[in-house]
């Protein structure tokens, strides 16, 4: 088309359409072809919706950008655009125009030189009427305003925001797929890299895409919310979520309960991939932003591969479903779970059993079979019959569960939730679960006979072992007082006299590492029964056991052979067993049997710190004195690990769930030295990920894979602030949601001289403010951004125990909101953006000295 004036161009367009029209039956109805087009919008003219909620017009989002036709909230000061017509074809200046032809009701956007840059596309309408509704929908209707038939609407072509009552999903009869796509940047509305699309194949769910890569999956609709977005429960206030699956359409939408209040709200995807619900708060004249997943490592699509389950509280986060083992063990142990897991035992088809996984995010359900009316029992029968059915579950959880879903492929992208999720039944070979009648009986008889022999043989051994235990118990009765004044003397004593007192280490030379038979462990743990399962920590399942003499133990059954020879493994364990300190969990014995490797630890009555700290009911059990003792205990345990004379151990994964508590709430660090067992023989040429837990990782470790004792100091600082506040530090991925994490909060309050604001309210007034403030200051010193600024653990112990010592003022913490979210001065934050795959190498966890 040549460059024409607006009128000419339009005329030309009309002629084109008109020549088409003559072929269509509608043409015969056209009796009043009017060639004077209506100008709807031009220059700075706008269309405003009846109640003045929305406004349609031209806008220029950035100083250097072109002009766009869009819809925005009329009454929001900073222009918040909700729809853009010509997002990829900006106009060079504002003298474009939106026109409507009188004859068939299409609307055209002309650029300043008169070319058509955008148009609505629909069949012809007789007496068209263009309206901007108060919902933000630009519609073309026929005839009068009361007419209900909509021929075209902007709601069918969403850009980056889903407004209330707008549909995200498919019209299956026309193939129209309404989806959201982010802007390129906050000043550039053109099609960005992130999009949100509904997939209706199998059991419908919504995906967040980064270009052509799946980034996050909401999980299927469970009747109330998406099973992979438990946050929806929290954001439910005043909002109804709808998910509709019908013959001819599948979509998600939300609506506001109180429509009269005209509350503004929208679901949006930001240019850097944050999915957010924004809601206008009139009193503050600000947008309130609610951040949806992806938020943590486990939200990342396929983080643990097929048949892998992601658990943010475990370390590494990936584990295999029971009955499965890592496909690529080396990568797996280094925290890269992408290859997933494979079955240990062949399936036996109709003889198979099902394992119940609780509170999981259902696997990716492309191609899953769905039956709305089938009961769970019938679902199980049907799944059992078809040998390629890998799992089943209820379709919805409302009213105690209904319907049936079956999977026929690898189970992909699962994770566990502390709260929420759904029960999934996974097919396993019968021998993985108890087995059936005869087989089990035979096994029991054999085990019983073997056990009896071993029991007799082991009796002598026990006597020897028990004596060793008694010796080591004596060693454990070292003073463990709080960091109070009395401790200062002790500390001085330590500094000036004996290092061995400090460490609490046994004085006699070689502690024996007891070896226990498999069968003994099996008997002690009731054959690894589910009742005895304590948890699924990093590296394997943990069972509670009781030895025949009544001693309680915790058995860590390593998920798979660590890849070391038996002798080498034993040597490593001897080293670890030599680390003995009142604040470390004691390794009592080990068990090596073919490919089974188990570590036997002392049993901790009160389980782990996180179970208290982050539980609404139990947190009040921890009064300030207990918390203070815990902080001091952990600090001393770390000094021991970092400064022991024989070798230095960097824990690398210090977090609340790795701090166990005995009957008297003495903290015991667990999982130390695991890197030594699992991290050996690293192949440097592989790219791999940082091992550890987001939220506790220091910046230099998370970004550059560089770690030192100071990385542990950082984690310790986070832990201290968590213990004081009773709140979990939420990692650092949600930079842009402007919701400060714990470090931000603590730092901000501290700067304003209101440090005590972060103290857990369940503590009431039962603490000494100066003591708490000292702890907060120590915590902040530990999480400082720059490695050199952070104190060593021994000076931490000193600071904690000397009320009168002057301490330096903390500087900005790492991963702080106020730092440089846009990444202007430091490349590190841009490295983080949008992905969790920092491909950095984690090198030696501990270096011999
Ligand atoms: C308008 O369209 C004509 C023909 O396609 C083209 O040559 C001209 O450059 C266009 N003008 C602008 C401003 O894009
Ligand atoms: C719109 O533009 C015209 C001239 O281009 C100007 O006179 C008028 O003040 C503008 N109106 C507004 C509301 O900016
Ligand atoms: C845009 O231009 C205005 C006026 O020239 C200036 O004040 C503002 O800082 C600029 N904004 C950006 C993002 O460059
Ligand atoms: C907009 O651009 C067109 C040509 O591209 C020019 O003729 C017109 O004068 C410009 N209008 C303004 C307001 O700059
Ligand atoms: C209008 O329809 C034509 C043909 O179906 C298509 O090529 C064009 O991209 C559509 N335009 C818009 C704005 O949807
Ligand atoms: C799908 O689109 C067609 C054509 O626009 C429309 O007639 C039909 O009502 C739509 N179906 C649904 C369920 O909205
Ligand atoms: C409007 O934008 C300015 C500059 O970007 C910002 O400082 C201000 O906080 C914004 N106001 C609101 C209500 O978002
Ligand atoms: C099992 O289910 C799959 C998928 O629905 C189907 O293709 C296959 O024919 C079924 N096999 C049997 C034996 O029913």
Residue 507 has pLDDT above 70, yes or no: no
- Testing ligand 7's pocket by substitution, the residue of 78, 287, 288, 289 carrying the most ligand atoms inside 8 A of its CB is 78
pLDDT for position 378: 94
Q: Which residue has the higher pLDDT, 499 or 532?
A: 532
pLDDT in tens, 193-219: 999 999 998 899 999 999 999 999 999
Element (H, E) at 553: strand 552-558
What is the token pair recorded at 103?
Answer: 């004859």
**Geometric angle at alpha carbon 416, from 414 and 422, rounded to 5°:** 85
Residue 580 has pLDDT above 70, yes or no: yes
- Is the torsion defined by CA of 333, 334, 339, 340 positive or negative? positive
Indicate if ligand 8 lies below 6 Å from the C-beta of 529: no
* Nearest-ligand number for the alpha carbon of 187: 3
Nearest ligand 5 atom to the CA of 119 is 13
- C-alpha of residue 128 to centroid of ligand 1, in Å: 29
Closest-CA residue, ligand 6 atom 5, reads: 174
Residue 56 has pLDDT above 90, yes or no: yes
Closest-CA residue, ligand 1 atom 12, reads: 113
Residue 4: pLDDT band by 50, 70, 90 thresholds?
very low
Indicate if ligand 1 lies below 6 Å from the C-beta of 843: no
- C-alpha of residue 36 to centroid of ligand 2, in Å: 24
pLDDT for position 279: 86
Residues in contact with ligand 6 by the CB-under-6-Å rule are: 171, 173-174, 248-249
- Is the torsion defined by CA of 200, 206, 208, 213 positive or negative? negative
CA–CA separation, 228 vs 275, rounded Å? 14
Closest-CA residue, ligand 1 atom 9, reads: 3
pLDDT for position 477: 34
Q: Which residue has the higher pLDDT, 662 or 693?
A: 662
What is the token pair recorded at 629?
Answer: 């003792």
Residues in contact with ligand 7 by the CB-under-6-Å rule are: 77-78, 285-286
Domain 609-845 listed as CATH 2.60.40.10:
no
Closest-CA residue, ligand 8 atom 14, reads: 386
Nearest ligand 1 atom to the CA of 113 is 13
Residue 818: pLDDT band by 50, 70, 90 thresholds?
very low
Mean pLDDT across 811-815 = 84
Can you point out the beta strands (E) in 156-281?
A: 161-162, 168-171, 176-178, 180-185, 188-199, 205-210, 213-217, 239-245, 249-256, 265-269, 275-281
Domain 487-602 listed as CATH 3.30.200.20:
yes
- Testing ligand 4's pocket by substitution, the residue of 6, 66, 95, 113 carrying the most ligand atoms inside 8 A of its CB is 95
Poorest-pLDDT segment among 120-124, 371-375, 496-500: 496-500
Nearest ligand 8 atom to the CA of 408 is 4
Which residues, in sequence order, are bridge partners of residue 213?
210
pLDDT for position 822: 33
Indicate if ligand 1 lies below 6 Å from the C-beta of 113: yes
Tell me the catalytic residues: 653
Highest mean pLDDT among 166-175, 464-473, 510-519, 691-700: 166-175
CA–CA separation, 364 vs 175, rounded Å? 23
CA–CA separation, 834 vs 736, rounded Å? 11
Poorest-pLDDT segment among 129-138, 294-303, 366-375, 578-587: 578-587
pLDDT for position 697: 78
Residue 224: pLDDT band by 50, 70, 90 thresholds?
confident
Nearest ligand 6 atom to the CA of 248 is 13
Q: Which residue has the higher pLDDT, 527 or 646?
A: 527
pLDDT for position 74: 93
- C-alpha of residue 635 to centroid of ligand 5, in Å: 66
pLDDT for position 496: 24
pLDDT for position 743: 87
Architecture of domain 158-295: Orthogonal Prism (2.90)
Poorest-pLDDT segment among 44-53, 96-105, 292-301, 716-725: 96-105
Q: For the stretch 130-157, what's the b/e string if a residue is b when 16 or more beta carbons lie within 10 angstroms of its beta carbon?
A: bebbebbbbbbbbeeeeeeebbbbbbbb
Label residue 540 left, alpha or beta by phi (over 0 means left) and psi (-120 to 50 means alpha): left
pLDDT for position 814: 84
CA–CA separation, 838 vs 836, rounded Å? 6
Nearest ligand 1 atom to the CA of 117 is 14
pLDDT for position 243: 94
For the chain, the average pLDDT equals 77
Element (H, E) at 108: strand 107-110
Nearest ligand 1 atom to the CA of 114 is 1
Indicate if ligand 1 lies below 6 Å from the C-beta of 93: no
Q: Which residue has the higher pLDDT, 547 or 690?
A: 547
Residues in contact with ligand 5 by the CB-under-6-Å rule are: 118-119, 121
Task: Tell me whether strands 414-415 and 308-310 are parallel, antiparallel or unpaired.
Answer: parallel
Q: Which CATH number fits domain 1-156: 1.20.1090.10, 2.120.10.30, 2.90.10.10, 2.60.40.10?
A: 2.90.10.10
- C-alpha of residue 23 to centroid of ligand 1, in Å: 29
Contacts for 356 with CB less than 8 Å, ≥ 6 apart: 423, 424, 425
pLDDT for position 563: 58
Residue 499: pLDDT band by 50, 70, 90 thresholds?
very low
Residue 607 has pLDDT above 80, yes or no: yes
**DSSP structural state of residue 126:** S
- C-alpha of residue 770 to centroid of ligand 7, in Å: 39
pLDDT in tens, 646-687: 567 788 788 898 899 998 899 999 887 766 665 433 332 222
- C-alpha of residue 90 to centroid of ligand 1, in Å: 13
* Nearest-ligand number for the alpha carbon of 80: 7
- Testing ligand 2's pocket by substitution, the residue of 43, 44, 45, 55 carrying the most ligand atoms inside 8 A of its CB is 44
Closest-CA residue, ligand 2 atom 3, reads: 44
Closest-CA residue, ligand 6 atom 4, reads: 174
- C-alpha of residue 16 to centroid of ligand 5, in Å: 15
CB-based burial label for 645 (10 Å; 0-12, 13-18, 19+) = exposed
Indicate if ligand 8 lies below 6 Å from the C-beta of 349: no
Mean pLDDT across 88-113 = 84
* Nearest-ligand number for the alpha carbon of 390: 8
Indicate if ligand 8 lies below 6 Å from the C-beta of 370: no
Residues in contact with ligand 2 by the CB-under-6-Å rule are: 43-44
Residue 28: pLDDT band by 50, 70, 90 thresholds?
very low
Nearest ligand 1 atom to the CA of 1 is 4
- C-alpha of residue 606 to centroid of ligand 7, in Å: 49
- Testing ligand 4's pocket by substitution, the residue of 92, 111, 112 carrying the most ligand atoms inside 8 A of its CB is 112
- C-alpha of residue 114 to centroid of ligand 1, in Å: 8
- Testing ligand 1's pocket by substitution, the residue of 5, 113, 117 carrying the most ligand atoms inside 8 A of its CB is 113
Annotated ligand binding at 556? The verdict is yes
3-state secondary structure of 493: helix
Mean pLDDT across 624-636 = 92
Residue 374 has pLDDT above 70, yes or no: yes
Q: For the stretch 261-270, what's the b/e string if a residue is b when 16 or more beta carbons lie within 10 angstroms of its beta carbon?
A: eebbbbbbbb
pLDDT for position 538: 59
Whether omega before 294 lies within 30 degrees of 0, making that bond cis, reads yes
pLDDT in tens, 411-458: 999 999 887 889 999 999 988 876 444 554 555 565 666 666 566 666
pLDDT for position 368: 93
Whether omega before 805 lies within 30 degrees of 0, making that bond cis, reads no
- C-alpha of residue 188 to centroid of ligand 3, in Å: 15
- C-alpha of residue 285 to centroid of ligand 7, in Å: 10
Indicate if ligand 4 lies below 6 Å from the C-beta of 112: yes
In the chain, pLDDT over 90 holds for what percent of residues? 34
pLDDT in tens, 712-748: 999 999 999 999 998 888 754 444 455 668 888 899 8
Closest-CA residue, ligand 2 atom 11, reads: 44
Residue 320 has pLDDT above 70, yes or no: yes
Residue 473: pLDDT band by 50, 70, 90 thresholds?
very low
Nearest ligand 7 atom to the CA of 284 is 13
Indicate if ligand 1 lies below 6 Å from the C-beta of 802: no
């Amino acid at each position: 088309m040549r460059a024409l004036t607006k009128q000419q161009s339009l005329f030309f367009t009309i002629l084109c359409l008109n020549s088409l029209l003559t072929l269509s039956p509608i043409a015969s109805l056209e009796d009043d072809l009017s060639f004077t087009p209506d100008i709807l919008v031009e220059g700075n003219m706008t269309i405003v919706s009846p109640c003045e909620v929305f406004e349609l017009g031209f806008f220029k989002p950035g100083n250097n950008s072109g002009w766009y036709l869009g819809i925005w909230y009329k009454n929001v000061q900073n222009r918040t655009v909700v729809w853009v017509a010509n997002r990829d074809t900006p106009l060079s200046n504002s003298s474009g125009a939106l026109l409507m032809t009188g004859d068939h009701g299409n609307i055209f956007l002309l650029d300043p030189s008169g070319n058509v840059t955008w148009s609505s596309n629909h069949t012809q309408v007789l007496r068209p009427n263009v309206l901007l509704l108060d919902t933000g929908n630009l519609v073309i209707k026929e005839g009068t305003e009361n007419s209900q038939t909509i021929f075209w609407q902007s709601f069918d072509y969403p850009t980056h925001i889903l407004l209330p009552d707008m549909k995200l999903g498919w019209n299956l009869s026309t193939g129209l797929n309404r989806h959201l796509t982010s802007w390129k940047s906050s000043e550039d509305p053109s099609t960005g890299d992130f999009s949100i699309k509904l997939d209706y194949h199998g059991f419908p769910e919504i995906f967040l895409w980064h270009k052509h890569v799946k980034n996050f999956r909401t999980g299927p609709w469970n009747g109330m919310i998406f099973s992979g977005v438990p946050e929806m429960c929290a954001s439910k206030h005043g909002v109804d979520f709808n998910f509709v699956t019908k013959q001819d359409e599948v979509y998600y939408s939300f609506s506001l309960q109180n429509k009269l209040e005209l509350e503004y709200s929208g679901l949006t995807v930001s240019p850097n991939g944050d999915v957010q619900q924004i809601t206008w708060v009139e009193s503050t004249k600000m947008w309130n932003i609610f951040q949806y997943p992806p938020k943590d490592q486990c939200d990342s699509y396929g983080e643990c591969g097929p048949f892998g389950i992601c658990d943010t509280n475990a370390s590494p986060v990936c584990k295999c479903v029971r009955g499965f083992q890592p496909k690529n063990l080396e990568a797996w142990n280094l925290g890269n779970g992408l290859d997933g897991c494979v079955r240990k035992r062949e399936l036996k088809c109709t003889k198979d059993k099902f394992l119940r996984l609780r509170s999981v995010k259902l696997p990716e359900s492309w191609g899953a079979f769905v039956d709305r009316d089938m009961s769970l029992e019938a679902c199980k029968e049907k799944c059992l019959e078809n040998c390629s059915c890998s799992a089943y579950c209820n379709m919805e959880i409302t009213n105690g569960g209904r319907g049936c879903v079956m999977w026929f492929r690898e189970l992909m992208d699962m994770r566990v939730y502390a709260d929420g999720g759904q029960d999934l039944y996974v097919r396993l070979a019968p021998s993985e679960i108890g087995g059936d009648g005869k087989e089990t009986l035979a096994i029991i008889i054999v085990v019983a006979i073997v056990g009896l022999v071993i029991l007799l043989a082991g009796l002598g051994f026990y006597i020897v072992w028990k004596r060793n235990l008694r010796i080591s118990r004596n060693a454990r009765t070292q003073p463990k007082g709080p960091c109070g004044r009395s401790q200062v003397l002790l500390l001085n004593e330590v500094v000036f006299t004996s290092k061995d007192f400090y460490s609490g280490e046994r004085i006699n030379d070689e502690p024996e590492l007891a070896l226990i038979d498999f069968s003994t462990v099996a008997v002690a743990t009731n054959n690894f029964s589910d009742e005895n399962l304590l948890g699924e920590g990093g590296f394997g399942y943990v069972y509670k056991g009781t030895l025949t003499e009544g001693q309680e133990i915790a058995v860590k059954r390593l998920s798979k052979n660590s890849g070391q020879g038996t002798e080498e493994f034993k040597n490593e364990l001897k080293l670890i067993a030599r680390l003995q300190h009142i604040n470390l969990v004691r390794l009592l014995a080990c068990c090596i049997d073919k490919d089974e490797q188990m570590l036997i630890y002392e049993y901790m009555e009160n389980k782990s710190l996180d179970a208290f700290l982050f539980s609404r009911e139990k947190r009040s059990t921890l009064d300030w004195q207990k918390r203070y003792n815990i902080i001091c205990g952990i600090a001393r345990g770390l000094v021991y690990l970092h400064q022991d004379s024989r070798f230095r151990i960097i824990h690398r994964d210090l977090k609340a769930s790795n701090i166990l508590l005995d009957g008297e709430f003495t903290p015991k660090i667990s999982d130390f030295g695991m890197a030594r067992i699992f991290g050996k023989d690293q192949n440097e040429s592989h790219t791999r990920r940082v091992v550890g837990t987001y939220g506790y990782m220091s910046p230099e470790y998370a970004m550059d894979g560089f770690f030192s004792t100071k990385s542990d100091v950082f984690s310790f600082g986070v832990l201290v602030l968590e213990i004081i506040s009773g709140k979990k530090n939420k990692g650092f991925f949600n930079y842009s949601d402007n919701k400060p994490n714990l470090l931000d909060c603590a730092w901000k309050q501290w700067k304003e001289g209101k440090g005590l604001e972060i103290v857990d309210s369940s503590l009431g007034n039962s603490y000494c403010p100066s003591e708490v403030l000292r702890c907060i200051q120590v915590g902040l010193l530990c999480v400082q951004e720059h490695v050199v600024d952070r104190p060593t653990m021994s000076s931490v112990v000193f600071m904690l125990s000397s009320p009168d010592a002057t301490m330096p003022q903390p500087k900005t913490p790492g991963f702080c909101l106020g730092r440089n979210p846009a990444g202007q001065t430091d490349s590190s934050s841009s490295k983080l953006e949008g992905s969790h795959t920092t491909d950095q190498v984690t090198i030696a966890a501990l270096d011999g000295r």
